[in-house]
Amino acid sequence: MVLLWTSFALANELHIPSYFFITSGACFLALYLHLPTLHQNTTKSFKDMKEHFLNVPGLLPVLATDIPKPFLERDNKAYQYFLDFATQVPQAAGIMINTFEFLESKVVRATSDGLCVPDNPMPPIYCIGPLIVAADERGGSSKTSPEDAHKCITWLDSQPNQSVVFLCFGSLEPFTKEQLREIAIGLEKSGQRFLWVVRDPPSHNLSVSIKPNGYPDLDSLLPDGFLERTKERGLVVKLWAPQVEILNHSSVGGFVTHCGWNSTLEAVCAGVPLVAWPLYAEQPLNRAVLVDGMKLALSMNESEDGFVSADEVEKNLRGLMVSDEGILIRERALTMKNAAKAAMIEGGSSHVALSKLVESWN
């Protein structure tokens, strides 16, 4: 089984069947497989096609600037590498995806039918997800003590059912001090209960996505008096929190997320509705799919430089937690939770797909 793309040529040379495991969703796979076709249909870089929508089989029209950053500039080496390899993926013996059919049925069907690569036969596609790390197996920051990690669970135990918005943005959060303050202002104005994981800003450049500098000083990062004014309805956690356990807690009623695929699946399995705030990689694409396709999220809209205002934060938190639209998203999230569970049991779609994959090896 080949997991590293650079191993594909060697596996073929040795006549070893090659399988790709896509850790993102089927939406990303469809876009990636269709990249050579999109490349042929234009001479422009996608970064220069603002307000232009791309047509990818199985997906609603995708804003050109919402595709992964390495795809945006056609003259750079990364783009050429991805483009070249996209033509090789259909030569694999099979493709495994960390998703389940009900979640992405239309795009899975379009990809399986070969619509994304009209000039090549498609190998079998196996939707074997959702594969997520169990709550007691997910690691935390080396700087986070067990006491800190479980403090938030104890706090959640005292909150009303489905009343808390959880805000967490992954391990590569690039927020500046100015953005953190804006989030805090929006949280306070919203009046909603919240559990917020805060990391130390890496730089003043919102486009930089690197690991945080260290243990955050909340008093210097957040507005004066914020922690005291919100202590009855909010908790700020430094660096890390047990995300799977939190999302499955009965007090959690919403999740503001960077739209990483692992976090997305964790929320889906917990039946938690989302506010989508993508930061890098394929996350803008995931947001478009979550908001417009799956109807599982509201969209946090940023300015051209990536900054999100306090008013936007407030609007989305209220929208998710107290509006009619939020109620519909919550109902949809519960449906997806049940579908995810059904996919993984014996006889479910993902269980059957995994069985077929094993049978193919025999």
What is the percentage of the chain residues whose pLDDT exceeds 70?
90
- What number is the average pLDDT over the span 265-280? 97
CB 114 within 8 A of CB 37: no
Predicted TM-score (pTM) of this structure: 0.92
Mean pLDDT of 164-173: 90
Asked if 5-127 and 146-341 have one fold, the answer is yes
3-state helix, strand, coil in the chain (%, to 5): 45, 10, 45
Q: Which residue has the tokens 């590293």?
A: 4
46-93 per-position pLDDT tens digit: 999 998 999 999 999 999 999 999 999 999 999 999 999 898 889 899
Across residues 264-284, what is the average pLDDT? 97
Q: Domain spans of the chain?
A: 5-127, 146-341
Residue given tokens 């259909």 in the structure block = 90
State the pLDDT confidence band at 304, using cuts at 50, 70 and 90: confident
Query: Does pLDDT of 275 surpass 90?
Result: yes
Classify 146-341 by CATH class: alpha beta
Average pLDDT of the chain to the nearest whole number: 90
pLDDT at position 63: 96
C-beta neighbour count of 351 within 10 angstroms: 16
- Does the pLDDT at position 162 exceed 70? yes
> 92 with 123: CB under 8 angstroms?
yes
User: Looking at residues 21-49, what average pLDDT do you find?
Assistant: 95
Query: Given 3.30.43.10, 3.40.50.300, 3.40.50.2000, 1.10.3720.10, which CATH number is that of 5-127?
Result: 3.40.50.2000
Averaged pLDDT, 126-145:
70
Stronger pLDDT, 306 or 313, i.e. the higher one: 313
pLDDT at 55: 97
